[in-house]
Each structure stands twice: as C-alpha cells, then as structure tokens.
Structure 1
Amino acid sequence: MQRQSFHAELQALQQLLLDLGERVEIAISQSILSLKNLNRKQAEGVIAKDVEIDKMEERIDNGVIKLIATQQPVAKDLRRIVTAMTIASDMERMADLAQNIAEITVVFVEKNLELFKPLEDLPRMARLSQEMVHDGINSFIDGNVGLAKKMAQRDDEVDRLYHQIVRELTEYMIDRREWIEPATQLAFVARHLERIADHATNIAESVVFIETGKRADLN
C-alpha cells in the first residue's frame, strides 16, 4: 500500500512538472511573438502569468518535501524526486527569462523603437528553446537518457545562432547610430534565449544523473 501511495504521489508530481513545462513553452512563444508584432498586450500577458509559474514551482517544492518526509525514498527514487525540485527551478528561471523578453517588447513600444529588420533568427532560437524544454521534460518523465542527450545537442545550434545574431546586430549599430538602442535590446533578447537553452540543457543533465547516478556535462 505504501509503495502504491508513493507512485501515486510521484505521478502527481510529474504531472505538475509537465504542466509547468507547458506554461514555460507558452511563455517563450508568446514573448517572442509579442516582440515580433510589437504587441504590448501580449507581452503584458506573459508578465502577468509569471506569478502563476512561481506558485507552481512552490507547489512542486512542497510536493518533493512531502514525498521525502512521508515515503523516505532511496537510490534512484530519491534522485528522481530531489531532481524534480532542480528541474522546477530551471523552468522557473526560463519563465523569468521569457518575462524579460516580454518586458523588452514593452520598452520597444514605450520608446517607439524600430524593428529595423524582420525577426527571423530570434524566433528560430525561440522555437529551438521551446523544443528543448518539451523534450527535456519528456525525457525526465520517461527516464529517456538518449532523448535527453539528443536534446542537449541542440544547444550548440542555439549558441551558433546567438553569436551570429550578436555579430549582425553589432554591424547594424556601427552602420546606423539610431539603431544602437533597438539593436542592443535585441541582443539582450538573444542572450535571454541562449540562457533558456542552457537551463533546458541542465534538465538533460539531471535526467542522466537520475538514470545513471553520474553527473554529466552536456553544455
């Protein structure tokens, strides 16, 4: 009966993580869309929902503490439960970074800054980051080390895009003085997306630790 209770509580915890991951994916998508369309209302929606994500992280932390206190798990079960708290923290940080992007949209609107070129590579970075979050959570739920490692490899593509974007934005700043501020803000967006991918890679490393008991550096 105790083992059955443990699995039920663990399943509930995993469902919370899935729900949190879905909200983080939406936050990333909505934040970059708000920037692409300079849609202040959409940006403010992302900002407002960050509080809900913070509360979900707190629920996960409390669930972990309760499981450890009442079920006294060991070995792999203990690693899985403790790591759920770490993953929730990474996702909460990703949501904060998505909020930062939404706040940059607000800056663009308030200062009437110009998007001097169509956004292409930033949305691509955002899509890659979303996919990494999605696969990272699924690899945790399924205990799939192969998926986790494959997901982490996409971080190299995100890093490549980040450096490419920063180089291009620097050229724009050199070329036209009036583009310095909007280009700087867009460079911040690229940095936030690069950091989101890093946090997603942390999830992949956590999955490897759960399943093997060994730490892995996948960055």
Structure 2
Amino acid sequence: MREAFQEELEKFLDKLIMLSNSANESLHKAMKAFEEDDNELAHEVITDDLRINALSVEIERDAYRLIVLQQPVTGDLRKIFTVFSANSDVERIADHATSIARTVIRRNPNEEKIERLDDIVKQMGEITQEMISDVIQAFVNGDVKQARKIAERDSELDEFQQQIYGIASRSMESDAEVIIGGINYIGVANNLERIGDYVTNICERIVYLNSGDIVELN
C-alpha cells in the first residue's frame, strides 16, 4: 500500500516538472515572438496556455485526492503542499508568458522601436528563462543552496525593469511616435519581473520542502 502511494506521489511531482517545462517553453516562444514580431508564434503561446491550465487543474485535483484518500504522513504531506503551492506559481508564470504573446498580437508592426530597450528586454527574457530552468533542477535535486542563489537573480530583473522604465519614459517624452511602443516595452518588462517573483516563490518552497524552514527570499 505504501509503495503504491509513493509511486503516485512521484507521478504527482513529475506533473509539476512537466508543467514547469511547458511554462518555460511558452515564455521562450513569447519572447521569440516579441523579438521577431511573429503573430503566429504568439497565437501558439495562447493555445498552449489552455493545455497548461488543464494540467494545473489536474495537479490541484491530485493534491486533494492524495490528501483525502491516502492520509499522508508529515513528510509526504509537506511534499504535497509544496507542489500544490508551486503549481499555482508556475501557472501564473505561463499566464505572464501569454500576456507577452498578447502584446505581440495587438501591437502595430510598424510602430517605432527603441533599440536600447530591445537589448534589455532580451536580456531580461534570457535571465528569466534561465531562472525557470534552474529552479526546476533545484526542485528535482532538493538543492536548497541553489534555490537561494536563483532567488538572488531576481534583483537583476528589478534593475533591468527600472532601466526600461527610465529609457522608455525619456523616449516617450521626447518623441510622441514611440509612446505606444514604449508602453509595450514596459508591459513586457513588468511581466518578466513578475515571473521572477514567482520563481522566487518556488525557491522558497524548495527551502521549506527540504529544510522545513519558512523563509522570504524576495
């Protein structure tokens, strides 16, 4: 009976990893769509989000089922609650990737771009994707030290976001033709910064799961 429960628990954990990989792939597509003005790819992100939402709901249902039917002991219960909480964070990461995709779809392909912001947004996207990949690995390995290091990178995203605010604001003040484009850059930066916050939340879950300590890393 216990062995069967452990197998179910492993499958439950695997679903979170699958969800995280899917969310990261959506972010990759959204950033590529933004950089290349690829509406078709942006629509693909929106379609993918429906599947991600369905898997997230499945994970939530599994959590309830495992708790009610299996009556897990303290250590296993901690795992279930950790996955349950992280599931919500990952689903929101995918939502922000979808928001970036929607920005691509609604923007005018002829709108004026601000080249300096293209570079900064690209760097933000790369850091965010690295953070997601690394946090998946830290979760799999139960690596508390790595989780703490990943959370520290959130400050890089905050700094880039402030740079984008400053450059976009000055550009919009001096040139009315870049106002809509500037707003779009700010919107994408906001989405990436929020994704960084959700990755940091997952890092906190990893610390809790493997040490029992409730910490704030943001």
Counterparts of 1:175-194 in structure 2 under 5 Å? 175-194=174-193
Task: Deviation per CA, 1:78-136: give whole Å up to 9, x if none.
Answer: 11111101111101101110000000001224x64232326211121111111211222
Gaps of 5+ in 1: none
For 2:151 and 2:194, how far apart are their aligned partners in 1?
A: 13
1:129 aligns with 2:128: yes
Equivalent residue pairs, number: 217
- With normalisation by structure 2, the TM-score equals 0.95
Post-superposition Cα deviations, 1:29-61, rounded to whole Å, max 9, x if no partner, equal 111111111111111110111100000101111
Deviation for aligned residue 1:200: 0.4
Alignment partner, residue 76 of structure 1: 75
Matched residues in 2 for 1:195 and 1:82: separation?
A: 22
Determine the C-alpha separation between the residues in 2 that align with 1:144 and 1:184: 38
Paired position in structure 1 for 2:113: 115
- 1:145 counterpart = 2:144: yes
- Counterpart position of 1:18: 17
The SS at the match of 1:215 is coil
Moved more, 111-120 or 144-153: 111-120
Amino acid paired to 1:198: D
Quote the offset at 1:10 in angstroms. Answer: 1.3
Of 64-73 and 156-165, deviating more is 64-73
Q: Contact (CA 8 Å) 1:17, 1:137: kept in 2 or not? A: no
C-alpha distance in 2, partners of 1:181/1:203?
34
The answer to whether the Cα contact below 8 Å between 2:19 and 2:90 also exists between their aligned partners in 1 is yes
Inter-partner Cα distance in structure 1 for 2:103 and 2:112: 12
Q: Which amino acid aligns with 1:107?
A: R
Distance in 2, matches of 1:108 and 1:61, equals: 35
- Show the counterpart of 1:59: 58
In the alignment, the residues of structure 2 paired with residue 38 and residue 81 of structure 1 have an alpha-carbon distance, to the nearest angstrom, of 40
Q: How many Å separate the matches in 2 of 1:22 and 1:207?
A: 17
Match status 1:201 vs 2:200: yes
Which residue number corresponds to residue 88 of structure 2? 89
What is the identity, as a one-letter code, of the residue corresponding to 2:113? L
The separation in 2 between residues aligned to 1:81 and 1:87, in whole angstroms, is 10
Runs of 4+ in 1 over 4 A off after TM superposition: none
Distance of 1:77 and 1:121 partners within structure 2: 42
Structure 2 unmatched runs, 5+: none
CA RMSD of aligned residues (A): 1.3
Contact kept? 1:108, 1:114, Cα under 8 Å: no
Distance 1:142 1:64 in 2: 21
Distance 2:112 2:37 in 1: 10
